Structure 1
Amino acid sequence: MASNYKFSNEEMAAIKAARRETKDKRADARLKALELRAEGMELSEVSQATGFHAAYVSQLVAKYRDHGLEAISGNHYGGNHRNMSFEEEAAILAPFKARAEKGELVEISEIETAYQQAVGHSIGTSQIYYVLHRHGWRKVMPRSRHPKKASEEVIETSKKLKPPSVN
Protein backbone atom coordinates (compact mmCIF):
# COMPACT_ATOMS: atom_id res chain seq x y z
CA MET A 1 0.00 0.00 0.00
CA ALA A 2 1.30 3.45 -0.88
CA SER A 3 2.29 5.84 1.85
CA ASN A 4 0.79 9.32 2.16
CA TYR A 5 3.01 12.13 1.00
CA LYS A 6 3.42 14.83 3.64
CA PHE A 7 3.42 18.41 2.37
CA SER A 8 5.53 21.02 4.12
CA ASN A 9 4.23 24.51 4.88
CA GLU A 10 6.48 25.96 2.17
CA GLU A 11 5.07 23.54 -0.41
CA MET A 12 1.49 24.39 0.57
CA ALA A 13 2.25 28.13 0.28
CA ALA A 14 3.85 27.57 -3.14
CA ILE A 15 0.80 25.61 -4.34
CA LYS A 16 -1.58 28.35 -3.18
CA ALA A 17 0.56 31.05 -4.80
CA ALA A 18 0.69 29.12 -8.08
CA ARG A 19 -3.08 28.69 -7.99
CA ARG A 20 -3.59 32.45 -7.52
CA GLU A 21 -1.26 33.26 -10.42
CA THR A 22 -2.51 30.76 -12.99
CA LYS A 23 -5.02 31.77 -15.64
CA ASP A 24 -5.43 28.31 -17.13
CA LYS A 25 -8.57 26.70 -15.72
CA ARG A 26 -7.28 23.15 -16.26
CA ALA A 27 -4.07 23.93 -14.38
CA ASP A 28 -6.15 25.59 -11.66
CA ALA A 29 -8.26 22.45 -11.27
CA ARG A 30 -5.12 20.31 -10.94
CA LEU A 31 -3.64 22.74 -8.40
CA LYS A 32 -6.92 22.78 -6.45
CA ALA A 33 -6.84 18.98 -6.21
CA LEU A 34 -3.24 19.11 -5.05
CA GLU A 35 -4.06 21.84 -2.53
CA LEU A 36 -6.99 19.89 -1.07
CA ARG A 37 -4.84 16.78 -0.79
CA ALA A 38 -2.10 18.84 0.88
CA GLU A 39 -4.64 20.08 3.44
CA GLY A 40 -5.22 16.47 4.46
CA MET A 41 -8.38 15.49 2.61
CA GLU A 42 -8.78 11.86 1.60
CA LEU A 43 -8.55 10.87 -2.08
CA SER A 44 -12.27 10.16 -2.28
CA GLU A 45 -13.10 13.57 -0.78
CA VAL A 46 -10.79 15.37 -3.20
CA SER A 47 -12.31 13.36 -6.01
CA GLN A 48 -15.82 14.47 -5.10
CA ALA A 49 -14.76 18.09 -4.67
CA THR A 50 -12.88 18.38 -7.97
CA GLY A 51 -14.55 15.85 -10.24
CA PHE A 52 -11.27 14.03 -10.84
CA HIS A 53 -10.98 10.31 -10.32
CA ALA A 54 -9.26 9.33 -7.08
CA ALA A 55 -6.52 7.52 -9.00
CA TYR A 56 -5.83 10.70 -11.01
CA VAL A 57 -5.50 12.72 -7.81
CA SER A 58 -2.98 10.16 -6.58
CA GLN A 59 -1.10 10.49 -9.88
CA LEU A 60 -1.04 14.28 -9.49
CA VAL A 61 0.55 13.95 -6.05
CA ALA A 62 3.13 11.49 -7.39
CA LYS A 63 3.90 13.78 -10.32
CA TYR A 64 4.31 16.72 -7.95
CA ARG A 65 6.56 14.68 -5.67
CA ASP A 66 8.77 13.52 -8.57
CA HIS A 67 8.87 16.60 -10.83
CA GLY A 68 7.80 19.56 -8.74
CA LEU A 69 5.14 22.22 -9.13
CA GLU A 70 5.90 22.93 -12.79
CA ALA A 71 4.70 19.43 -13.73
CA ILE A 72 1.25 20.27 -12.36
CA SER A 73 0.85 23.96 -13.17
CA GLY A 74 2.49 23.99 -16.60
CA ASN A 75 0.61 23.89 -19.87
CA HIS A 76 0.95 20.37 -21.22
CA TYR A 77 -1.09 20.98 -24.33
CA GLY A 78 1.20 22.40 -26.97
CA GLY A 79 0.11 23.17 -30.48
CA ASN A 80 1.65 23.81 -33.86
CA HIS A 81 3.98 20.86 -33.97
CA ARG A 82 4.58 21.51 -37.62
CA ASN A 83 7.93 21.09 -39.25
CA MET A 84 7.73 24.36 -41.19
CA SER A 85 5.98 27.68 -41.19
CA PHE A 86 2.98 28.35 -43.40
CA GLU A 87 5.14 30.33 -45.85
CA GLU A 88 7.76 27.56 -46.13
CA GLU A 89 5.02 25.03 -46.86
CA ALA A 90 3.58 27.36 -49.51
CA ALA A 91 7.01 27.61 -51.15
CA ILE A 92 7.23 23.81 -51.40
CA LEU A 93 3.71 23.57 -52.81
CA ALA A 94 4.20 26.38 -55.38
CA PRO A 95 5.60 24.26 -58.24
CA PHE A 96 2.93 21.63 -57.70
CA LYS A 97 0.23 24.29 -57.70
CA ALA A 98 1.52 25.64 -61.02
CA ARG A 99 1.38 22.15 -62.52
CA ALA A 100 -2.12 21.59 -61.17
CA GLU A 101 -3.34 24.88 -62.64
CA LYS A 102 -2.03 23.78 -66.05
CA GLY A 103 -4.25 20.72 -65.74
CA GLU A 104 -1.58 18.16 -64.93
CA LEU A 105 -2.18 15.46 -62.35
CA VAL A 106 -0.27 15.98 -59.12
CA GLU A 107 0.29 12.94 -56.94
CA ILE A 108 0.67 12.99 -53.17
CA SER A 109 3.80 10.83 -53.39
CA GLU A 110 5.60 13.60 -55.33
CA ILE A 111 4.63 16.24 -52.76
CA GLU A 112 5.59 13.89 -49.93
CA THR A 113 9.05 13.33 -51.42
CA ALA A 114 9.66 17.07 -51.81
CA TYR A 115 8.43 17.73 -48.26
CA GLN A 116 10.65 15.01 -46.80
CA GLN A 117 13.69 16.40 -48.59
CA ALA A 118 12.97 19.87 -47.22
CA VAL A 119 12.42 18.63 -43.67
CA GLY A 120 15.21 16.09 -43.62
CA HIS A 121 13.31 13.16 -42.14
CA SER A 122 10.45 10.85 -43.06
CA ILE A 123 6.84 11.82 -42.43
CA GLY A 124 3.49 10.16 -42.85
CA THR A 125 1.26 10.68 -45.85
CA SER A 126 -1.50 11.97 -43.59
CA GLN A 127 0.69 14.94 -42.70
CA ILE A 128 0.81 15.90 -46.39
CA TYR A 129 -2.98 15.82 -46.49
CA TYR A 130 -3.04 18.17 -43.46
CA VAL A 131 -0.63 20.54 -45.23
CA LEU A 132 -2.75 20.52 -48.37
CA HIS A 133 -5.90 21.16 -46.35
CA ARG A 134 -4.21 24.07 -44.56
CA HIS A 135 -3.40 25.62 -47.92
CA GLY A 136 -6.89 25.24 -49.34
CA TRP A 137 -6.23 22.35 -51.69
CA ARG A 138 -8.96 19.86 -52.35
CA LYS A 139 -9.03 16.52 -54.09
CA VAL A 140 -10.42 16.94 -57.57
CA MET A 141 -10.63 13.89 -59.80
CA PRO A 142 -12.36 13.49 -63.13
CA ARG A 143 -15.31 11.12 -63.02
CA SER A 144 -14.91 7.93 -64.94
CA ARG A 145 -18.51 8.24 -66.12
CA HIS A 146 -21.54 10.44 -65.48
CA PRO A 147 -23.72 9.05 -62.69
CA LYS A 148 -26.94 9.52 -64.68
CA LYS A 149 -25.62 8.09 -67.94
CA ALA A 150 -27.77 5.34 -69.38
CA SER A 151 -26.36 1.88 -69.76
CA GLU A 152 -25.02 0.71 -73.12
CA GLU A 153 -28.04 -1.56 -73.58
CA VAL A 154 -30.49 1.34 -73.18
CA ILE A 155 -28.48 3.47 -75.60
CA GLU A 156 -28.51 0.75 -78.27
CA THR A 157 -32.23 0.20 -77.82
CA SER A 158 -32.98 3.89 -78.18
CA LYS A 159 -30.97 4.05 -81.43
CA LYS A 160 -33.20 1.33 -82.91
CA LEU A 161 -36.39 3.08 -81.89
CA LYS A 162 -35.65 6.41 -83.58
CA PRO A 163 -37.42 6.94 -86.92
CA PRO A 164 -35.20 7.74 -89.88
CA SER A 165 -34.66 11.44 -90.34
CA VAL A 166 -36.32 13.18 -93.28
CA ASN A 167 -34.15 15.48 -95.37
Structure 2
Amino acid sequence: MARTASGKEFLDQAKELLANAKSVKELRQAQAMILPLEFNLSLEQTSAITGVSTGWVCHLRTEFIRANGKVERTKSHGGRRRENLSPADEVEFLSPFIERAKVGGILVVSEIHAALQARLGRSVALASVYNLLHRHDWRKLVPDKRHPKSDPEAQEAFKKTPGTDGSDQGRVARGKAHQGDVSR
Protein backbone atom coordinates (compact mmCIF):
# COMPACT_ATOMS: atom_id res chain seq x y z
CA MET A 1 0.00 0.00 0.00
CA ALA A 2 1.33 3.44 -0.93
CA ARG A 3 2.05 6.05 1.68
CA THR A 4 -0.50 8.76 2.15
CA ALA A 5 0.55 12.20 1.00
CA SER A 6 1.68 14.55 3.74
CA GLY A 7 1.25 18.30 3.91
CA LYS A 8 -2.52 18.65 4.33
CA GLU A 9 -1.91 21.71 6.51
CA PHE A 10 -0.46 23.50 3.46
CA LEU A 11 -3.32 22.69 1.09
CA ASP A 12 -4.95 26.12 1.34
CA GLN A 13 -1.63 27.85 0.68
CA ALA A 14 -1.03 25.56 -2.32
CA LYS A 15 -4.45 26.49 -3.74
CA GLU A 16 -3.64 30.15 -3.30
CA LEU A 17 -0.30 29.61 -5.04
CA LEU A 18 -2.07 27.81 -7.89
CA ALA A 19 -4.33 30.81 -8.42
CA ASN A 20 -1.51 33.38 -8.21
CA ALA A 21 1.41 31.49 -9.79
CA LYS A 22 3.82 33.79 -11.61
CA SER A 23 6.13 31.12 -13.03
CA VAL A 24 5.99 27.56 -14.30
CA LYS A 25 7.91 26.36 -11.25
CA GLU A 26 5.33 27.85 -8.88
CA LEU A 27 2.49 26.31 -10.89
CA ARG A 28 4.12 22.87 -10.84
CA GLN A 29 4.86 23.19 -7.14
CA ALA A 30 1.22 23.97 -6.39
CA GLN A 31 0.07 21.10 -8.60
CA ALA A 32 2.52 18.73 -6.91
CA MET A 33 0.90 19.62 -3.58
CA ILE A 34 -2.76 19.69 -4.64
CA LEU A 35 -3.07 16.66 -6.93
CA PRO A 36 -2.02 14.00 -4.39
CA LEU A 37 -3.94 15.63 -1.53
CA GLU A 38 -7.20 16.58 -3.29
CA PHE A 39 -7.51 13.88 -5.93
CA ASN A 40 -5.53 11.03 -4.27
CA LEU A 41 -3.18 10.72 -7.24
CA SER A 42 0.09 8.85 -6.90
CA LEU A 43 3.41 10.58 -7.45
CA GLU A 44 3.74 8.82 -10.82
CA GLN A 45 0.35 10.14 -11.94
CA THR A 46 1.22 13.60 -10.63
CA SER A 47 4.52 13.54 -12.52
CA ALA A 48 2.70 12.58 -15.73
CA ILE A 49 0.30 15.50 -15.32
CA THR A 50 2.89 18.11 -14.35
CA GLY A 51 5.43 16.98 -16.94
CA VAL A 52 8.33 16.42 -14.54
CA SER A 53 9.89 13.28 -13.11
CA THR A 54 8.62 11.54 -10.01
CA GLY A 55 11.72 12.56 -8.10
CA TRP A 56 11.19 16.16 -9.06
CA VAL A 57 7.57 16.04 -7.87
CA CYS A 58 8.86 14.82 -4.49
CA HIS A 59 11.42 17.61 -4.49
CA LEU A 60 8.80 20.27 -5.24
CA ARG A 61 6.53 18.97 -2.48
CA THR A 62 9.35 18.79 0.07
CA GLU A 63 10.55 22.28 -0.83
CA PHE A 64 7.04 23.69 -0.38
CA ILE A 65 6.56 21.97 2.99
CA ARG A 66 10.00 23.04 4.29
CA ALA A 67 9.23 26.65 3.37
CA ASN A 68 6.00 26.42 5.41
CA GLY A 69 3.89 26.94 2.32
CA LYS A 70 5.60 30.14 1.29
CA VAL A 71 7.33 30.57 -2.02
CA GLU A 72 10.08 33.12 -2.27
CA ARG A 73 10.19 34.74 -5.65
CA THR A 74 13.78 35.31 -6.60
CA LYS A 75 15.02 37.23 -9.57
CA SER A 76 15.79 35.13 -12.59
CA HIS A 77 19.29 34.83 -13.90
CA GLY A 78 20.41 37.46 -16.31
CA GLY A 79 22.84 40.28 -16.73
CA ARG A 80 26.60 40.25 -16.46
CA ARG A 81 27.26 38.10 -13.40
CA ARG A 82 30.94 37.61 -14.24
CA GLU A 83 31.81 41.18 -15.09
CA ASN A 84 35.22 42.50 -14.13
CA LEU A 85 34.05 46.11 -14.00
CA SER A 86 30.64 47.71 -14.10
CA PRO A 87 29.77 49.49 -17.37
CA ALA A 88 30.39 52.89 -15.73
CA ASP A 89 33.77 51.71 -14.39
CA GLU A 90 34.67 50.40 -17.86
CA VAL A 91 34.02 53.82 -19.39
CA GLU A 92 36.12 55.48 -16.68
CA PHE A 93 38.92 52.91 -17.12
CA LEU A 94 39.05 53.24 -20.91
CA SER A 95 38.71 57.03 -21.08
CA PRO A 96 42.47 57.85 -20.99
CA PHE A 97 43.21 55.26 -23.67
CA ILE A 98 40.35 56.45 -25.87
CA GLU A 99 41.38 60.10 -25.49
CA ARG A 100 44.88 59.20 -26.68
CA ALA A 101 43.37 57.36 -29.65
CA LYS A 102 41.24 60.37 -30.58
CA VAL A 103 44.28 62.66 -30.88
CA GLY A 104 46.10 60.28 -33.20
CA GLY A 105 47.56 57.67 -30.91
CA ILE A 106 46.74 54.01 -31.22
CA LEU A 107 45.22 51.67 -28.69
CA VAL A 108 47.94 49.27 -27.58
CA VAL A 109 46.25 46.20 -26.18
CA SER A 110 49.23 45.14 -24.08
CA GLU A 111 49.17 48.49 -22.23
CA ILE A 112 45.44 48.22 -21.59
CA HIS A 113 45.90 44.60 -20.48
CA ALA A 114 48.59 45.54 -17.97
CA ALA A 115 46.51 48.45 -16.65
CA LEU A 116 43.42 46.24 -16.31
CA GLN A 117 45.37 43.62 -14.39
CA ALA A 118 46.76 46.31 -12.09
CA ARG A 119 43.29 47.75 -11.52
CA LEU A 120 41.73 44.36 -10.75
CA GLY A 121 44.70 43.09 -8.74
CA ARG A 122 44.73 39.75 -10.55
CA SER A 123 45.55 38.34 -13.94
CA VAL A 124 42.92 38.36 -16.67
CA ALA A 125 42.88 36.78 -20.09
CA LEU A 126 43.86 38.89 -23.06
CA ALA A 127 40.46 38.09 -24.56
CA SER A 128 38.89 40.05 -21.69
CA VAL A 129 40.64 43.17 -22.96
CA TYR A 130 39.49 42.59 -26.53
CA ASN A 131 35.92 42.00 -25.30
CA LEU A 132 36.11 45.19 -23.22
CA LEU A 133 37.29 47.19 -26.22
CA HIS A 134 34.67 45.60 -28.46
CA ARG A 135 31.88 46.60 -26.05
CA HIS A 136 33.00 50.22 -26.38
CA ASP A 137 33.43 50.30 -30.20
CA TRP A 138 37.18 50.73 -30.07
CA ARG A 139 37.68 50.01 -33.79
CA LYS A 140 36.19 53.35 -34.77
CA LEU A 141 38.91 55.21 -32.91
CA VAL A 142 42.01 53.54 -34.30
CA PRO A 143 43.51 55.23 -37.38
CA ASP A 144 43.27 52.71 -40.17
CA LYS A 145 44.96 54.36 -43.17
CA ARG A 146 48.45 54.87 -41.81
CA HIS A 147 50.37 54.84 -38.57
CA PRO A 148 50.19 58.22 -36.80
CA LYS A 149 53.98 58.37 -36.41
CA SER A 150 54.70 57.57 -40.05
CA ASP A 151 56.49 60.05 -42.31
CA PRO A 152 54.57 60.42 -45.61
CA GLU A 153 57.45 62.29 -47.33
CA ALA A 154 59.90 59.52 -46.50
CA GLN A 155 57.45 56.96 -47.86
CA GLU A 156 57.07 58.89 -51.13
CA ALA A 157 60.84 59.27 -51.45
CA PHE A 158 61.22 55.54 -50.89
CA LYS A 159 58.73 54.85 -53.67
CA LYS A 160 60.81 56.99 -56.07
CA THR A 161 64.05 55.14 -55.33
CA PRO A 162 64.92 52.88 -58.30
CA GLY A 163 64.52 49.19 -57.67
CA THR A 164 62.20 49.48 -54.71
CA ASP A 165 58.92 49.44 -56.59
CA GLY A 166 59.16 45.77 -57.58
CA SER A 167 59.83 46.34 -61.29
CA ASP A 168 62.63 44.64 -63.23
CA GLN A 169 64.41 47.91 -63.98
CA GLY A 170 66.15 48.00 -60.63
CA ARG A 171 67.53 44.48 -61.02
CA VAL A 172 68.81 45.13 -64.49
CA ALA A 173 70.38 48.40 -63.38
CA ARG A 174 72.35 46.58 -60.68
CA GLY A 175 73.43 43.87 -63.09
CA LYS A 176 71.07 41.15 -61.90
CA ALA A 177 68.85 40.17 -64.80
CA HIS A 178 66.12 37.57 -64.69
CA GLN A 179 67.00 34.03 -65.63
CA GLY A 180 64.73 34.34 -68.65
CA ASP A 181 66.90 37.18 -70.09
CA VAL A 182 69.36 35.85 -72.65
CA SER A 183 71.00 39.14 -73.48
CA ARG A 184 74.57 39.20 -72.16
**TM-score between both structures, scaled by the size of structure 1:** 0.58
The percent of aligned pairs where both chains have the same amino acid is: 22
Q: Between Structure 1 and Structure 2, how many residues are aligned?
A: 140
Distance in 2 (CA, whole Å) between partners of 1:45 and 1:38 is: 13
Select the structure of larger CA radius of gyration: 2
The Cα of 1:84 is off from its aligned counterpart by 5.3
CA offsets per residue over residues 28-75 of structure 1, 9 Å max, x none? 2333233324434211111110110111111112222323444x5623
Tell me if the contact between 2:36 and 2:46 (Cα under 8 Å) persists in the aligned partners. yes
RMSD: 4.0
Q: Secondary structure at the match of 2:109?
A: coil
Distance 1:128 1:30 in 2: 44
Larger displacement relative to structure 2 (125-134 or 55-64): 125-134
Q: Does 1:113 align with 2:117?
A: yes
Q: What's the counterpart of residue 95 of structure 1?
A: 96
Alignment of 1:44-123 (within 5 A): 44-70=44-70, 72=71, 74-75=73-74, 77-80=76-79, 81=81, 82=83, 85-99=86-100, 102-107=105-110, 109-110=113-114, 112-116=116-120
The whole-number CA distance in structure 2 between the counterparts of 1:63 and 1:16 is 16
Could you tell me how far apart the structure 2 residues matched to 1:66 and 1:18 are? 15
Q: Which amino acid aligns with 1:44?
A: E
What TM-score comes out, normalization by structure 2 length?
A: 0.54
> Which structure 2 segments of 5+ residues have no match?
145-165, 172-177
Amino acid at match of 1:14: Q
Task: Find the aligned partners of 2:88 and 2:129 in 1 and give their Cα distance.
Answer: 15
Q: How many Å separate the matches in 1 of 2:131 and 2:14?
A: 40
Bigger mean CA offset, 17-26 vs 127-136: 127-136
With over 3 angstroms needed to count, the CA separation of the structure-2 counterparts of 1:99 and 1:43, relative to structure 1, is: farther
